[in-house]
Structure 1
Amino acid sequence: MKKQLLLTGGNGFIGKNIRESFLAQKYDIIAPRSSELNLADTAAVDNYFKTHQFDAVIHAAVKPGHRNAKDPTNLLYTNLRMFENLARHTDRFGRLINLGSGAVYDSAADNRLVTEDQIGLRMGKDDHSFCKYVVHKQIENIKNAVDLNIFGIFGKYEDWEIRFISNACCKALFDLPITLRQNRRFSYLYAPDLMPVLDYFIEHEPKFKCYNVVPDEETELLQAAQTVLDVSGKKLPIQVAHEGYGLNYSGSNARLRKDIPSLCFTPLKQAIAGLFSFYCENKKLLNYNLLLRDK
């Protein structure tokens, strides 16, 4: 009998990738829409768990606060309430796998190859960073929970208007110059590479309360842009607004590697080639005019 999982945020970028991965064949994934289960509504969540029980919960739901968000208000309140509404029912599932963020280290700081024991050295002032910090501190006190820190993640279904690698792919597709404010170093994770990590923590008891889920190598934005051009076969300009490097946003995966030594990550060129092919096949869904202005 398959293990039954509750997936929150199943209609979001990461959620859609989870639902299309091998996890959907291996497990029975229940992914209610927000109209079916409002995670910010305590009474609704309480009633839901009266009649539902799961082997694990993958918490991928989040109210976004990025520059393309339709409603960036009440971000801290909503995201904390969604998490707490799940956390109060840990007796109704085997494990809570929270998809956290590198922002737990403070997204306004220069974070380069940070390690999990550096969490708490800084506490971010913006709502997003502070929320990730508070959730992490809660997870430290929840027996059956683990926090997975994702720094940069890319893949199909992400917001191509603002997410750099997808935006670069789409611009190349329409023969537009690739633009960036400043070169930065990221720990970019290809979305399919998250799935074996989730599978491991569904099946195994975590040794630690949090892990950085990042590949072995950093990716520079200029490197990613050039790789997009190499994959597309086009000779287009790469326009950089400011010289030098911006703040780093990368983490060390030493802890994750130690627990899952067999873990493999897709090479950057192969990952971008797959993503570029996706946009080639779905070009009609893109809006050329929205690519003409950077948000």
Structure 2
Amino acid sequence: MQQTRLDTARIRAVHRVIDPMFLDTPLYRCEALEPELGCTVSIKLETANPVRSFKARGTELVASRLVDHGPQAAVCASAGNLGQALAWSGRGRDLDVTVVASRSATAAKLDRIRALDARLELVDGDHETARERAAAIARRDGIRLVEDSLDIETCEGAATIGLELVEAAPPFDAVLIALGGGALATGVGHVVKALAPGVEVICVQPRGAPAMTRSWHQRRVVTTDSTHTIADGVAGRRPIPAVLNDLLLVADDAVLVHEASITAAMRVLLDQAGLIVEPSAALGIAAILEDRDRFAGRHIVTIVCGSNVDMDAYHRWVGTAPVHGS
């Protein structure tokens, strides 16, 4: 395999830095999903932790290195999950954390960032506007700018998921990975291609936020003017060139799915697996729903990457009645 920015030896070493509560997450075959999907499905569950997503695997590395070698403060732009994770990792190490987010971000995610004692700044516009503001704050205050997917710690932290996958038994045929900025896809993809090269790495993105997928297919950065998807965690418009270069080396395919498939996948995960997930976490199941023939008879792993979701919106999307008082 050609060289990505990631290093497998470093990825193995970071297990001692990441808080164990974020490691060795459940991986299990979910037979209840299989009659509807037509394939063997295993779930890697990245939501049973204090920040309800995989993001702390990366922010644990960022925060630990800041304590040792950097300013005692950091800022990031986030749709919600990275911000929570950085706030959690920073609070445990007495770091000053600022999170910049769009005013339209999921309210539940913003509330949890505040609860973790981070400074929260809201901006008009989308995630790209938040990225610009976070960079300006870092320059002004001389603090660490944490850029998801560009910063190698975020990719190599996510890559520890890949280690746990390839070391598990039985073997699997393909892994379906939500694609946004690319940290999860490049991290897991790097490890899978290095240690289990026969496994197909398939990235999944909403049709309403297709920039990285279009970039992968055209082998150059393709930007979009806007995004239109409920999957806010993967709704970027401007791929990072270095991350795209890594993705081109490790991904076998990148596919787009409809919004209706995302909500259908969320409903399937609730009904058949008992899991309440955010839209980004349902992208893998959505891909199977849209192309059952491709996956028929194969063993597929999907990474359920987050469960930070506004419950009122969730009930609208999934078509369930909210419990009184929720």
Fold similarity call, TM over 0.5: no
Give the alignment's TM-score, normalised by structure 1: 0.29
Q: Which structure has the highest strand share of the two?
A: 1
Give the alignment's TM-score, normalised by structure 2: 0.27
